Amino acid sequence: MTDYFAGIPKIAYEGPDGDNDFAFRHYDPDETILGKRLEDHLRFSVAYWHSFASDGGDPFGGQTFLRPWFGPTMDHAKMKANAAFEMFRILGQPYFCFHDADIRPEGDTFAENTNRLKEMTDYLQGKMEATGTKLLWGTANLFSHRRYMAGAATNPDPDVFAFAAATVKTCLDATQQLGGENYVLWGGREGYETLLNTDLKRERQQAGRFLTMVVDYAKKIGFDGTILIEPKPQEPTKHQYDYDVATVYGFLKDFGLEGEVKVNIEQGHAILAGHSFEHELALAASLGILGSIDMNRNDYQSGWDTDQFPNNVPEVMLAYYEVLKAGGFTTGGTNFDAKLRRQSLDPQDLILAHVGGMDVCAAGLKAAARMLEDGMLEEARQARYAAWEAGDAPALLAQGTLETIADCVLRDNINPQPHSGRQEALENLVNRYL
Amino acid sequence: MTDYFAGIPKIAYEGPDGDNDFAFRHYDPDETILGKRLEDHLRFSVAYWHSFASDGGDPFGGQTFLRPWFGPTMDHAKMKANAAFEMFRILGQPYFCFHDADIRPEGDTFAENTNRLKEMTDYLQGKMEATGTKLLWGTANLFSHRRYMAGAATNPDPDVFAFAAATVKTCLDATQQLGGENYVLWGGREGYETLLNTDLKRERQQAGRFLTMVVDYAKKIGFDGTILIEPKPQEPTKHQYDYDVATVYGFLKDFGLEGEVKVNIEQGHAILAGHSFEHELALAASLGILGSIDMNRNDYQSGWDTDQFPNNVPEVMLAYYEVLKAGGFTTGGTNFDAKLRRQSLDPQDLILAHVGGMDVCAAGLKAAARMLEDGMLEEARQARYAAWEAGDAPALLAQGTLETIADCVLRDNINPQPHSGRQEALENLVNRYL
Amino acid sequence: MTDYFAGIPKIAYEGPDGDNDFAFRHYDPDETILGKRLEDHLRFSVAYWHSFASDGGDPFGGQTFLRPWFGPTMDHAKMKANAAFEMFRILGQPYFCFHDADIRPEGDTFAENTNRLKEMTDYLQGKMEATGTKLLWGTANLFSHRRYMAGAATNPDPDVFAFAAATVKTCLDATQQLGGENYVLWGGREGYETLLNTDLKRERQQAGRFLTMVVDYAKKIGFDGTILIEPKPQEPTKHQYDYDVATVYGFLKDFGLEGEVKVNIEQGHAILAGHSFEHELALAASLGILGSIDMNRNDYQSGWDTDQFPNNVPEVMLAYYEVLKAGGFTTGGTNFDAKLRRQSLDPQDLILAHVGGMDVCAAGLKAAARMLEDGMLEEARQARYAAWEAGDAPALLAQGTLETIADCVLRDNINPQPHSGRQEALENLVNRYL
Amino acid sequence: MTDYFAGIPKIAYEGPDGDNDFAFRHYDPDETILGKRLEDHLRFSVAYWHSFASDGGDPFGGQTFLRPWFGPTMDHAKMKANAAFEMFRILGQPYFCFHDADIRPEGDTFAENTNRLKEMTDYLQGKMEATGTKLLWGTANLFSHRRYMAGAATNPDPDVFAFAAATVKTCLDATQQLGGENYVLWGGREGYETLLNTDLKRERQQAGRFLTMVVDYAKKIGFDGTILIEPKPQEPTKHQYDYDVATVYGFLKDFGLEGEVKVNIEQGHAILAGHSFEHELALAASLGILGSIDMNRNDYQSGWDTDQFPNNVPEVMLAYYEVLKAGGFTTGGTNFDAKLRRQSLDPQDLILAHVGGMDVCAAGLKAAARMLEDGMLEEARQARYAAWEAGDAPALLAQGTLETIADCVLRDNINPQPHSGRQEALENLVNRYL
C-alpha cells in the first residue's frame, strides 16, 4: 500500500451547509433523482492519466509534481495502481478509465508492451475485485510515443498503422478482461501539421478501415460495451480529423458505422471546436450517437485544452439536461479527464479537485432533473413548433414540392408574421432551477 | 445608362511593371495556363449584393455610401442594374451572381415579389444578351427579412417554410431563365440563437426535406447546373447548421444527396469555422463535393465575417492549388463575395477593389499552376506514402484484422522509426513558385 | 403617455420560490447587505440605446422590432421618452443612461442637433423630477453618423474633430443639467480599419488633447461627476485605441490624466480583449481607476459583441466581488448596456430581460458579499504572500540590488521549494457562497 | 567538433532562380539596400533554445528529436555549443541569443548554476572570438524550473524573487562578458493561473522593483546595450502581465522606466494578444520603445504559440516596413525564436528552416525598402491628414477648448463630409512592391 493520501478521510456527503473541505455538499450517491440513484445517473469515473501520470509539466516548464510512483519499472506501475485505488476508495466513485501507457511502463518492443499490459491488467483486476471499482472504458495511447508523431491509423508508414492496430487489439483484450463498459478512440495525432505533406483522402480511408477493424474485433471477442470516438478539432495537430460531433457523424455514415460507434464528448473539445458543450450533446443525441462524456472544462479564453475541473453549475446543468433528456447514460458515464493545475502540488489538491468537480456535477444534474421534471422548458419548446403538428403542415412537410407549395402561398397569400423567440424569458426560467 | 463610373476606363492588362492603378498587372484573360485561358480557369464573378446593395453600414453605424440607385422603386432597381452592368463592362469579368432581394425591391406580398423578380429577370436578361455577361449563380435571400428571423427551412412556423420554398422556386426559375450555371443556398438563419428554444432534430429534418425539394424541382425544370450549399459556422446566428464542409457532407449523406449537391466554399467562412481555406477545398475535393468558391477573406483577428477583398497572394495560391489539383472548376467559379470597407465611399474604390482582387487571384492561380506543373510538391507528398503501395501494405489495409496484424507485428517485431515530415522544406518549396 | 407596456405590472420582490415571471426573486432593493441597501450597492441603470433605439437589425438583416416611437420627429422622441420612463417605473431601477443620438432625432446641422438635444433634455428633466429616476451617465454618440466613419477625436479631418468636440460640449451640458453622476466616452471609431492609412502617433496626440479638453470643460462648468473611458479592443474597427484597462492606463499616464479619468468596464469588451471581466475590474481597482460597469455579457464563442443580458450567477459574483473589495461604487453603477436578441420582439421581452438581469446581478452581489464577509478567500490570498511581510523580505524589496541579493542567495544557499497554489480548493470555496 | 551537420554545405546566395535547397534565393548579405548592407539591416540571430534545446515534445507527446548533445553533463553542453556554432557557420548569420538554461545544465544550487554558467560563458567566448559570431542578447530562463511555477519577480515567496534576481545578475554578467547588445526579460510565469489566489497590486509592485534593479545593475556594470521586455498575453499562464506593447508602456511609465527599457516584439505573441505584428511594431515606434524583434509566426488558427518559421512574404514586408520607417534597428535585430515542427527530425530540417526563414525576411525587407523609397504609401498617408497642417487646425489642436470650438462650429456651420479611406487602393499599392 501507498500512504500518499495519508490523513485524508474517505469523503462523505454532509449536505450543503457544512464547512468541511473534505466532504460532498451536493453529491449524495444514494439520493433518488427521477427514480434512480444519483450515483447511477452520474456514473463518475476518474482518469488514470491526468491524476496519476501527469507531472505538472507544460510547454514552458518541466515537472512540478513529485509522485513517489514516477519511474520506469513495473514496481513503480504497481505503486501507482495502489495510489490510484487508494484515491478511488477515498472518493468512492464507481468507475475509472485508463490508457495502456498510463498503467504500464513503455517497453522496447510490442511484445514487451503486451506482456507488461497483461501483467498490469491482472494486477488491476485483483484490485477491482477487492474494491468493487469498475472500468468505464479503456483506450490505447496512440499519440505520445514518437512513432506516432505523424498519426497512428492515418500514418504514412504502414508499419505504424500495424503497430497501432496490434496495440488496440491488446487494449481491447484488456478492456474486455476488466469488464470495461466502453472502449474509446481519441485520435490525437490523426490529423495533420501541414496540408502540404498530407493526402486527406488516403488518410481518411485508412481511418475508416482501422475503425472497421476495431468494430469487427470487438464483436469477435464478444465485447458488449460501446465503441466511442472522442472528437477534438485540433491540438496537438493543426487539424484533427474527428473535429466535432457533426464531422464524426459524416465519417461514420461514410463507412457504414453509424450504428456501431458512438461519441465520447468532452466539454473542452467542444469549446475548442467553437461549440457549446450542450450543443455537442444535443446534436449527438439527435443523431443517435451520444455515448459518454468527459467532464473537463476549458478556459474560454485560452486557445489550448486546459482540461480544468468543472466549477460552473449553470453550465454543467445545461449539459446534464441534454443527457437526461436523451434518457440518461447507458454504458456511458461522467469521466473526469481533468487535470490539476501545474501549481497544485499536494495530495489534497488531487482529492479536493475531484470532490469539487463531483459536487458541481451533482448540483448540475439535480438542477437539470428539476427542470426536466417541471417540464416548463420542454413545454415552451414544443409550443414554439406547435403549428407543425396542426392542419396541413405535416402533409406539406411530407409531400410538398416547391411547385405545390408556391401555388399554395400564392393562393392563400401567405404572409407570415414572426413570433418572439423569448430567449431572455427562457434564460430566466432556467435560472429558477439552480 | 448611369454615369456613376464616369471617367473610369475599361480595365486592361498592362503587365506587372506598370504604375496605372486602373490596369491589371497579373490578370491577362487570354494568357494560357495549363492549356486553358486564364479567364476560363478563374471564371470570375462579381456579387450584386455587396457591390451594389451594401450601404456601408455596420452594427455601430448607418449608411456611408451614397449610391443614386438606393431607393424602393423598380426604377431604382433598373438604375442599379445599369450601374452593375456598367461596372461589369469596365472589369470585363465573365460572370455575376445575385439574390432575389438584390435585384428587386421587396414587395408587400409573395405575388408582388414574384412579379417584380420576373420583371427584373427579364431586364437583366436583356442586359446579359447585350453584353455577354453570364450568370454564375442565383440564390434567394432567406435571411434579411424579419419573417426569416428564426430561419427559413428550419423555421418553427410552417408558413415561413412555405414562403421560403415558394421563393426558392421563383429564384430557381429566374436562374434557369438566365442560364445560371449553379444555384446556391446559404442558410444564414438556419441555425439558432439559443439552444433553449430549439429542436435540433426537427429542424434538421425540415432542412433535409427542403433541400430534397430543391433538388427535385431543379431536375423537373431541366436545370443542368449544380446545386450548392455554402457552409458557415455562425454569424448572424450563434450556430449555423451548415457549419463547415465536413458537417455539410454528413448532412448530405443522411438525406442521400451527396451525389446531387456540392459546396460553395468561402475563405471567410472557412476561417470562422477554424479551418484554412485550402483545408476546406481539399476536404471537399476528397469527398467529391467541391463546387465553387467565394473569394473573400476574413481578417484573422476579427471574429466576424469581414468579407474583405483578397490581397495575400501566397494564401490565394494555396487555395487555387487545391482547385487545380481537383481538376479545376466545372460549373463553379471565383465569386467576389467581398465588400468595400465602410470608409471606401467612391466609385473608384469599387473598381479598384475588384481590380486588386482579380490580380491577386490571377497571380495566385498562376503560381499554383507552376507548382502543379513542376510536380515537386506532389512528388514529395507521394513519396511520403510510398510504403503503402509496396509489399504487403495494400493487402494489410484491404484485408487485415486486428488479430492478423497483431500476429504479424509480434512475429516480425515491427518497431517503426519515424521519418521527418519536412514541413519547413515544403514551405520553402512553395515559396519558390511565388 | 404610451401604453406600450400595457398589462405589465410593476415588478416587485417576491422571493426565490415564486413562479411569477414578472417578479424579482433575488433583487429586494431594501435588503441590507454589508450595511447598505442592495439598491445602493447595485445602482442599476437602464440604457436608452439598446432598449429604446435598437430595431433588432444585424449585419444580415433589417429591423424586426416594431416600436411605435420609431420615427424622425421630435414627437417620436417624446413618445420614446414616455415609453422609457414607463419601463423605468415598471422596473423601479434608480438610474438610466443615454447618448445624445438616443434621445433626439439627428438634425441637419450642429445647431439643430443642439436645439433638439436641449429640448429633449428639458423634457427628460421634467420626467426625472416627476419620477425620481436619476441619470447615471450621459455620453455623445460619436460613431454612428457617417461623418465619424474615420473617427471623431482621431479623425484625419480637423472639422470632424471640431464637430465632435462641440457635440461633447453639448452632451456635457445636458449631463450636468440632468445631474448626471458620470460622463462616458466610448471611442467606437477611435481606432483604424487599416494601419496602411493611419498615423498612430498623430491620432494618439489628438485623442490626448481631446480628453484633456473634456476634463477641462467638465471642471469649468462645475461638473462633479466622474469622467469615464470605456475600453474596447475592436469592433467596429479592426483596432480600437482604448483596447483594455491596461492600455487606457498607459494613455492616461501619458497625458497626466490618471487622476482625472476612470474606466467604465463592460464584460463583453473585456471578453473580446482576451480578459475575464473580473480581471479588468481587479486591474482597474489596483490602478485606482475603477469607475463603473456595463453589465452585458458576450457569448464566449462569438467573436463580436453580443451584448446579452447577464445570466450566469457564478460569473457575476466574481465581478461584484472585485467591486465590493474595492469599496463598492461611488459615482458608478451597474448599467445594462445589454440588448434583446433579434427574435425577442415583444414588450414583455424587454421587461423580462431586465428582470432576469437584475436578479442575476442581485444574486451575484449577495454571494460576493457573503464571500467577502466570511473572509476565507482573502485570508487564503494573504497567507500565500505572508512571507513578504516577514523577516528581511520588506527590506529586500525596498532596498535590495541584484548584487546584494545575489550575495545573500549565495551565502544562505537559498533554494526555494514551491508551494501549492490551491486553485481547485479555492474554486470549491467560491462555489460555497452561491 | 560535432559532425551533426555533416554533408551540409555552407549556405550561399545563388539568386531567385536556382533550385538548390541549400542556398539563399533572396538573402545576399552584401546587397545594398537604402544605403546599408542587407546583413546590417536584418541583423539575423539564431536562438539557442528552440534550435538546440528543443526535443520535439508537446503537451501530448514526448521527445521526437534525437540530438547527440542531449544530456545532463557539461560535456553535453559543450557538444551542444559545438553543434550550434557549426550551424552558425553554415548559415552565416551574424548573431545568436541564449538563456542561461540553454547553455549550461541545471545545477543543484545557485552556486553550481553560477559556476556552470561562467564556464560555458568562457567556452562560448572562445568560439565567438574564433568565428566572429556575436551575441544579440542574453536572458535568464525564469519559467521552466519548478521553483518558478508561480512566477519569478512576482512570486508570492520572496526567496524565489531573490533567486531570480541573483540569477539575472549572473546572466547580465555573462551578457556583458560576451558583448551582448541587448538583454531581454520575458516573463513567462509573471502572471497568474487564477485571479482567486493573486494580489495584482502587490505583484505589479514586485515586477516594477525587479525591473528597476535590473536597469540599475546594468548601468553599474557599464552595460551599454538595451534592456528589453518581451510582451506576451498568456500561455503558459492564464494571464501574463506584459500583455502587449501598450500594457508594457503603461507599466514602464508607472515606474519611470520608459526611457530605460524597450520592447522585443514577437509576431506570435502579437497575434495571441489580438494584434497584427505591424501594429505592435508601429505602436512601439510611436511610443519610442521599439527595440528588437522575434521573427516567429503563429498559426492564426491555433490558440497557442506555435513559434513557426516565417513563410509569408507579404506579412513580413509589412513588419519590416515599420522597422525601416522607424529608422531601422540600432541594438536590436531579427531573432528566430522559431522552432521546428515536432515531425522535423533531421539535421537538414534545422538548416532549411532557417534558410527559408532568412530568405522570407530578406524578400520582405527588400520589398519594404522599395515601398519606403518609392514613397507613395507615405505620401497617401500624409495627404489624408493634410488638413491638420493647414489654416487654423494646428491652433485648434494646441489651444482649443470645447467652448471655443463649439462656438466656431456653430458660427461657421461646420458640417464635415467624409472622404474615402482608400483601403483597397492602398492594399493594391502595397502588393506592387512584392
User: pLDDT band at B2, cuts 50/70/90?
Assistant: low
* The overall pTM is greater than 0.95: yes
Say which of C59, C62, C299 has its CB closest to residue B238: C299
Kind and range of the H or E run holding A262: strand A261-266
User: pLDDT band at B47, cuts 50/70/90?
Assistant: very high
Enumerate the residues of chain B whose CB falls inside 8 A of the CB of residue D364.
none
Enumerate the residues of chain B whose CB falls inside 8 A of the CB of residue C63.
146
Residue type, B297: R
Name, in order, each residue with C-beta under 8 angstroms of B101's C-beta and a sequence gap of 6 or more. B53, B140, B141, B144, B145
Enumerate the residues of chain D whose CB falls inside 8 A of the CB of residue A343.
149-150, 193
Name, in order, each residue with C-beta under 8 angstroms of C3's C-beta and a sequence gap of 6 or more. none
Q: What is the dihedral of CA D148, D154, D160, D161, to 10 degrees?
A: 140
Rounded Cα gap, residues A148 and A192, in angstroms: 12
Rounded Cα gap, residues C302 and B276, in angstroms: 18
Cis peptide before D29 (omega within 30 of 0): no
Pairing of strands C290-294, D12-13: unpaired
- A297 and A403 part of one domain: no
Indicate yes or no: CB of D423 within 8 angstroms of CB of B276: no
C236-248 mean pLDDT:
98
Contact D330, D279 (CB under 8 A): no
Indicate yes or no: CB of A313 within 8 angstroms of CB of C314: yes
Contact A401, A360 (CB under 8 A): no
- CA distances B174 to A138, B178, B186, C142, Å, are 57, 6, 17, 44
- C263 and C328 part of one domain: yes
pLDDT at C2: 64
Residue C7 lies in a domain: no
For cell 519536412, the residue is: B422
- D403 and D358 part of one domain: no
Q: What are phi and psi of A65, to 5 degrees?
A: -85, 135
pLDDT above 90: residue A325: yes
Name, in order, each residue with C-beta under 8 angstroms of D6's C-beta and a sequence gap of 6 or more. none
Rounded Cα gap, residues D293 and D316, in angstroms: 12
Instruction: Name the 3-class secondary structure at B98.
Output: strand
- D182 and D322 part of one domain: yes
Give the tens place of pLDDT for each residue, C213-227: 999 999 999 999 999
Say which of B300, B352, B434 has its CB closest to residue D425: B352
Rounded Cα gap, residues B332 and B316, in angstroms: 17
Rounded Cα gap, residues A294 and C266, in angstroms: 32
Rounded Cα gap, residues B208 and B213, in angstroms: 9
- A159 and A113 part of one domain: yes
pLDDT above 80: residue A1: no
Indicate yes or no: CB of A189 within 8 angstroms of CB of D61: yes
C225-234 mean pLDDT:
98
Task: Identify the CA nearest to A243 among candidates B233, B259, C302, D56.
Answer: B233
Q: CATH number for the domain including B26?
A: 3.20.20.150
Residue D379 lies in a domain: no
pLDDT at A18: 87
User: pLDDT band at B416, cuts 50/70/90?
Assistant: very high
| Interface pTM, i.e. ipTM | 0.97
Residue of C nearest to A23 (CA): C428
User: pLDDT band at D64, cuts 50/70/90?
Assistant: very high
Enumerate the residues of chain C whose CB falls inside 8 A of the CB of residue B58.
59, 236
Enumerate the residues of chain D whose CB falls inside 8 A of the CB of residue B23.
none
pLDDT above 90: residue D18: no
- C223 and C257 part of one domain: yes
- D287 and D422 part of one domain: no
Q: Please state whether B307 falls in left (phi above 0), alpha (psi between -120 and 50) or beta.
A: left
Q: What DSSP string describes D293-318?
A: EE--BPPTT-BS---BPP--HHHHHH
Say which of C149, C202, C273 has its CB closest to residue D385: C202
Contact C83, C4 (CB under 8 A): yes
Residue B22 lies in a domain: yes
pLDDT at C415: 97
For cell 500514418, the residue is: A155
Structural domain ending residue among the three candidates C374, C406, C421: C374
Structural domain ending residue among the three candidates A332, A347, A374: A374
Cis peptide before A236 (omega within 30 of 0): yes
Percent of chain A at pLDDT exceeding 90: 99
Rounded Cα gap, residues C169 and D407, in angstroms: 10
- A368 and A411 part of one domain: no
pLDDT at B18: 87
Indicate yes or no: CB of B60 within 8 angstroms of CB of C188: yes
**C76 annotated active-site:** no
Task: Identify the CA nearest to D244 among candidates C266, B301, C199, A306.
Answer: B301
Enumerate the residues of chain A whose CB falls inside 8 A of the CB of residue C420.
343-346, 349
Closest Cα in chain C, distance from residue A377 (Å): 13
pLDDT above 70: residue A2: no
In C98-244, where does DSSP find H-type helix?
100-103, 110-131, 158-177, 200-220
Residue C274 lies in a domain: yes
- CA distances B396 to A143, A149, A159, C78, D11, Å, are 22, 21, 10, 80, 44
pLDDT above 60: residue C380: yes
Residue D5 lies in a domain: no
Q: Domain of residue A404: give its range.
A: 386-432
pLDDT above 80: residue D1: no
- D286 and D402 part of one domain: no
A-C Cβ pairs (cutoff 8 Å, strict)? 121
Region of poorest pLDDT, from A1-10, B49-58, C354-363, D290-299: A1-10
**Beta-carbon neighbour count of residue A78 at 10 Å?**
18
pLDDT above 80: residue A274: yes
Residue of D nearest to C318 (CA): D196
Q: What are phi and psi of A244, to 5 degrees?
A: -160, -175
Closest Cα in chain B, distance from residue C193 (Å): 8
User: pLDDT band at D133, cuts 50/70/90?
Assistant: very high
Indicate yes or no: CB of A304 within 8 angstroms of CB of D304: yes
pLDDT at C1: 53
- B395 and B369 part of one domain: no
B411-427 mean pLDDT:
98
**Beta-carbon neighbour count of residue C260 at 10 Å?**
18
Give the tens place of pLDDT for each residue, A258-271: 999 999 999 999 99
Length of chain D in residues, anyone? 434
B171-192 mean pLDDT:
98
Indicate yes or no: CB of B143 within 8 angstroms of CB of C62: no
Give the tens place of pLDDT for each residue, A388-424: 999 999 999 999 999 999 999 999 999 999 999 999 9
Give the tens place of pLDDT for each residue, A84-122: 999 999 999 999 999 999 999 999 999 999 999 999 999
Residue type, B156: P
Identify the active-site residue in B102, B173, B337, B359.
B102
Give the tens place of pLDDT for each residue, B121-139: 999 999 999 999 999 999 9
Rounded Cα gap, residues D79 and D75, in angstroms: 6
**B419 annotated active-site:** no
Give the tens place of pLDDT for each residue, D265-287: 999 999 999 999 999 999 999 99
- A268 and A413 part of one domain: no
Residue D4 lies in a domain: no
Residue A4 lies in a domain: no
Q: Which three cell numbers stand for residue A280?
A: 455537442
B257-278 mean pLDDT:
98
Give the tens place of pLDDT for each residue, B311-354: 999 999 999 999 999 999 999 999 999 999 999 999 999 999 99
For cell 546587397, the residue is: D31
Percent of chain C at pLDDT exceeding 90: 99
Indicate yes or no: CB of D301 within 8 angstroms of CB of B271: yes
Average pLDDT, chain D: 97
D343-365 mean pLDDT:
98
- Residue C51 is classified by DSSP as I
For cell 516548464, the residue is: A61
- D111 and D17 part of one domain: yes
Name, in order, each residue with C-beta under 8 angstroms of D251's C-beta and a sequence gap of 6 or more. C246, C250, D204, D207, D208, D241, D242
CA distance between the termini of chain C: 41
Structural domain ending residue among the three candidates A330, A352, A374: A374
Give the tens place of pLDDT for each residue, C105-130: 999 999 999 999 999 999 999 999 99
Residue B108 lies in a domain: yes
pLDDT at A5: 97
Rounded Cα gap, residues B342 and B50, in angstroms: 11
User: pLDDT band at A298, cuts 50/70/90?
Assistant: very high
Kind and range of the H or E run holding D361: helix D347-374
Closest Cα in chain C, distance from residue A426 (Å): 10
Residue of B nearest to A218 (CA): B402
Domains identified in chain B, total number: 2
Contact B54, B339 (CB under 8 A): yes
pLDDT above 80: residue D2: no
Closest Cα in chain A, distance from residue D265 (Å): 18
Identify the active-site residue in C41, C99, C269, C354.
C99
Burial of B89 (C-beta count, 10 Å sphere; 0-12/13-18/19+):
middle
